[in-house]
A and B are shown apart, each in its own frame.
Chain A
Amino acid sequence: MAYFTQQLINAITLGAIYGLIAIGYTMVYGIIGMINFAHGEVFMIGAFISLIGFMICSMLGIGSAPVAILLVLLLAMAFSAVYGWSIERTAYRPLRGSFRLAPLISAIGVSIALQNYVQLAQGARPKPGGQIVSGGFNLFTDDGFDVRVTWLQIIIVVVTIVLMAGFTWLIARTSLGRQQRACEQDMKMASLLGVNVDRTISLTFVLGAALAAVAGMLFLMYYGVIDFFIGFLAGIKAFTAAVLGGIGSLPGAMLGGLLIGLIEVFWAGYFSSEYKDVAAFAILVLVLIFRPTGLLGKPEIEKV
């Protein structure tokens, strides 16, 4: 029981990070029907900006961890949002209205370019991030096994919940969210009603990138080490999460992230950690075979 609870806590932490990245995939897919394969790279850049941010904080002598985390959070979100906006503006918008595969290829190109850019600018070696938050407490002890929750895990889950709640509110309740959903359902009609579709698409990329940047920061704090290649695997996992939850569905992305976290951690915990990625992707294959629309996705309705 103790071992199970410990795995559960670890899984939720990991799932929160995947969920934050998955939102970016699912929203972009929802609005322009394209998989943004460069999204994992935005996550990686968010992690690097966070690393730089934490270093600046320590240089400025900001000792308080909550203040530093908040500052770095805002910094990473802002910079990554600019990246997200620029990627859409330069690599996808010129290809809108072109054949379906063109933006996909362009996305892969952007992904490779960003990886190489960070490799050149920051070096290829893994970068240690240092420990920003340490400590934790024992939840309970069972059969001599301590179930431990670290403060960091609590921070990760709380930040994720707050952001996801805020984000859901933004989409469900504000004019901005209504415009976003309207474009998702009928872009031409939205445009006729005076909604600026291009700006809405940019906004989608900006929001997705900002959430990915938060995931990057949390990843840096959790694992303590990052390199230029972390975006690839995390990106594919989050994409799997988005498909698992039903691509295009926001609650689906959050749920999918959580499930991928659970699958991965429990597989590693009970079977073998070498094959945890295989387990996550095997689930993707099964979902695609038996429920192609994902857990919360709606079946595609042919527009006549």
Chain B
Amino acid sequence: MSVATATPLIEVEHLTMRFGGLVAIDDVSFTARPREITAIIGPNGAGKTTVFNCITGFYKPTVGRLTLRGGRGEFLLERMLGHEIGQRAKVARTFQNIRLFPGMTVLENLLVAQHNKLMRASGWSILGLLGIARYRDAEKAAVELARSWLERIRLLADADRPAGELPYGAQRRLEIARAMCTEPELLCLDEPAAGLNPRESAELNELLVSIRDRDGIGVLLIEHDMSVVMNISDHIVVLDYGRKIAEGNPAAIKNDPAVIRAYLGTDDEAIDG
């Protein structure tokens, strides 16, 4: 089993999450490196999303340490508040179900993601918003960044439409663009290919690879669509019933007997054996 040699971007150590008597995650450790796509896979209920919820501060882990080492220093995520994880540690995420701001325009969705930058430029005051040059420049730069992302996801023409009106696949892409507009160090994507047709999912592959190679961002990916996972992942972590059962590159994972057993099931005797 390969262990990361370069400095990991995020290091998950002995993560355990209990809800009352239910153990959702049981002593899971893994690392994800910068400029790599690390996939977390496993059957339904394996605890993948719970791992994300711990990383992004939705849950407080029962046991364990989550260390993010990015360009801004070292952060212990389990000790930070929800908005600090996005703001200071620079972790961005998307959800299984789409959570855009449906009533706001496509462009505004991307601008909300850059809100901290803008508020800093305004000096946190209403007077600042009334038009000091620094704020206006920042706003212009924010719109610029948003537009460049809209171009990359081919939604530039829809910039002023309410986000809720976009077709499903476009909303998925917009969510990823919005997460990227926070200029994250780590991007956590929860089933981004869910509900996409094969063509859209091929486009998604391209987008994710470009985020890794062009933007140099580390990506954590939960995905059921194996055509996505096997094609673009550099590293795969397999969970089953809250435990890590395998970890390695796609080729190794494909042939790992424990993974095959978890996915395809096995005879009763084989389990006993």
Binding site for B on A (CB under 8 A): 170, 174-176, 178-179, 181-182, 185-186, 188-197, 304
Contact = CB atoms under 8 A, between A and B. Distances in A.
A183 to B, nearest CB: 9
B126 A193 contact: no
Contacts of B46: none
B82 interface: yes
Given A192-B56, A195-B83, A175 B103 contact: no
Given A192-B56, A193-B115, A194-B115, A178 B86 contact: no
B104 A178 contact: yes
Contact of A181 (B104, B113, B119): B104
A189 B99 contact: yes
B102 interface: yes
B112 A195 contact: yes
Contacts, number: 77
A193 B104 contact: no
B101 A182 contact: yes
Contacts of B58: 188
A179 B86 CA distance: 15
A181 B105 CA distance: 11
A58 to B, nearest CB: 29
A178 B111 contact: yes
Instruction: Report whether over half of chain B's contact residues are helix, strand or loop; otherwise say mixed.
Output: helix
Q: How large is the interface on B (under 10, 10 to 19, 20 to 34, 35 or more residues)?
A: 20 to 34
A124 to B, nearest CB: 37
Interface of B: 56, 58, 82-83, 85-87, 92-93, 95, 97, 99, 101-104, 108, 111-113, 115-116, 118-119, 122, 126, 129, 139, 178-179, 182
B120 to A, nearest CB: 10
A10 to B, nearest CB: 33
Contacts of B139: 175
Nearest to B112: A182
Contacts of A175: 111, 115, 118-119, 122, 129, 139
A195 B117 CA distance: 11
Nearest to A177: B129
Nearest to A207: B126
Contacts of A189: 95, 99, 101
5 contacts: A182-B101, A182-B104, A192-B92, A194-B86, A197-B83
Contacts of B179: 193
A195 B85 CA distance: 11
Given A170-B129, A175-B115, A182-B104, 7 more contacts: A175-B118, A175-B139, A182-B101, A185-B102, A185-B104, A195-B116, A196-B87
Contacts of B82: 188, 191-192
A193 B182 contact: yes
A179 B101 CA distance: 11
B131 to A, nearest CB: 10
A125 B156 CA distance: 63
A207 B129 CA distance: 15
The 9 closest A-B pairs by CB, nearest first: A194-B87, A175-B118, A194-B86, A185-B101, A182-B112, A174-B129, A191-B83, A189-B99, A191-B82
A170 B131 CA distance: 12
Contacts of A195: 83, 112, 115-116
Nearest to B88: A194
A68 B225 CA distance: 68
Contact of B83 (A174, A176, A196): A196
Which of B113, B115, B116, B119 is most buried by chain A, counting CB atoms within 10 A of its CB? B115
A286 to B, nearest CB: 28
A175 B103 CA distance: 16
Contacts of B101: 181-182, 185-186, 189-190
A191 B86 contact: yes
B126 A170 contact: yes
Which of B85, B99, B122, B182 is most buried by chain A, counting CB atoms within 10 A of its CB? B99
A194 B102 CA distance: 18
A297 B101 CA distance: 17
B83 A194 contact: yes
